[in-house]
Amino acid sequence: MHPIRIAAEKLYLAKKITLSESKERGCQQTNIFHEIRDRVYMQDVVKFYGLQLSRSGMACCPFHEDRTPSLKVYEDHFYCFGCGTTGDCTGFVSKLFGISQLEAAKKISHDFGLNLFNGSIAVPVKTEISPEAEYFMWLKKAEGTVTEYLDKLCG
> How many domains would you assign to the chain?
1
Report the chain's terminal Cα–Cα distance, integer Å. 87
Helix (H, G, I), strand (E, B) or coil at 149: helix
d(CA 108, CA 115) in angstroms, rounded, equals 10
Q: Per the domain annotation, does 84 fall within a domain?
A: yes
- Domain with 64, as residue range(s), is 40-154
Interval 87-119: pLDDT, tens: 999 999 999 999 998 889 889 988 888 888 765
Q: Per the domain annotation, does 108 fall within a domain?
A: yes
Measured in whole angstroms, the distance separating CA 155 from the mean position of its chain's CA atoms is 38
Q: Per the domain annotation, does 30 fall within a domain?
A: no
Q: Per the domain annotation, does 20 fall within a domain?
A: no
Q: Per the domain annotation, does 83 fall within a domain?
A: yes
Does pTM surpass 0.85?
no
Report residue 23's pLDDT band, with 50, 70 and 90 as the boundaries: very low
Better pLDDT: 129 or 76: 76
Q: Tell me: pLDDT of 154 over 50.
A: yes
What CATH number does residue 67 fall under? 3.90.580.10
Q: Per the domain annotation, does 17 fall within a domain?
A: no
Q: Per the domain annotation, does 33 fall within a domain?
A: no
Q: Per the domain annotation, does 7 fall within a domain?
A: no
